[in-house]
Amino acid sequence: MEQGNYSVGLDIGTTKIVAIIGRENEYGKIEILGTGKSKSLGVHRGVVNNITQTISSIQQAVEQAEVDAGLKIGSVVVGIAGQHIRSLQHSDYITRPNSEEVINDDDLEKLCNQVYKLVMLPGEEIIHVLPQEYKVDGQCEIKEPKGMYGGRLEANFHVVVGQVSSIKNIGRCIKSAGLDLGNITLEPLASAEAVLSQEEKEAGVALIDIGGGTTDLAIFKDGIIRHTSVIPFGGNVITEDIKEGCSIIEKQAELLKIKFGSAWPGENKDNEIVSIPGLRGREPKEITLKNLSKIIHARVVEIIEQVYVEIKNYGHEEQKKKLIAGIVLTGGGSQLKHLKQLVEYITGMDTRIGYPNEHLAGDSDEEVASPLYATAVGLLMNALETTNNNVLESEMEQAEEEMLVGQESVAGKSVNTQTAPRKSIFDKWSEKLKDFLDNAE
* 73-87 per-position pLDDT tens digit: 989 999 999 889 999
CA distances from 218 to 221, 225, 231, 273, 413 (A): 10, 7, 11, 39, 55
Residues 348 and 311 sit within 8 Å (Cβ to Cβ): no
- Record the pTM: 0.86
∠ Cα 276 282 287 (to 5°) = 30
Residues 18 and 64 sit within 8 Å (Cβ to Cβ): no
pLDDT of residue 403: 75
Q: What three-state secondary structure class fits 204? A: coil
Residues 340 and 352 sit within 8 Å (Cβ to Cβ): yes
pLDDT of residue 111: 94
Whole-angstrom Cα distance, residue 62 to residue 66? 6
Residue 114 lies in a domain: no
273 lies in which domain range? 235-299
Residue 250 lies in a domain: yes
Residue 151 lies in a domain: no
Residue 293 lies in a domain: yes
Specify the range with the lowest mean pLDDT, choosing from 214-223, 231-240, 306-315, 432-441: 432-441
For the chain, the domain total comes to 1
Residue 284 lies in a domain: yes
CB contact burial 5-38 (16+ within 10 A = b; e otherwise): ebbbbbbbbbbbbbbbbbbbeeeebbbbbbbbbb
Residue 247 lies in a domain: yes
Q: Which of 177, 173, 176, 142 is nearest to 156 (CA)?
A: 142
Residue 265 lies in a domain: yes
Give the dihedral sign, CA 283/288/292/298: negative
Residues 17 and 57 sit within 8 Å (Cβ to Cβ): yes
pLDDT of residue 417: 40
Report the CATH number at residue 249: 3.30.420.40
Amino acid at site 142: I
362 alpha carbon, distance to own chain's centre: 23
Residue 346 DSSP class: H
Residues 19 and 144 sit within 8 Å (Cβ to Cβ): no
Average pLDDT, the chain: 88
Whole-angstrom Cα distance, residue 40 to residue 31? 25
Residues 396 and 404 sit within 8 Å (Cβ to Cβ): no
Q: Which of 25, 61, 54, 51 is nearest to 376 (CA)?
A: 61
| Residue 325 backbone dihedrals phi, psi, to 5 degrees | -80, -5
pLDDT of residue 440: 60
Residue 254 lies in a domain: yes
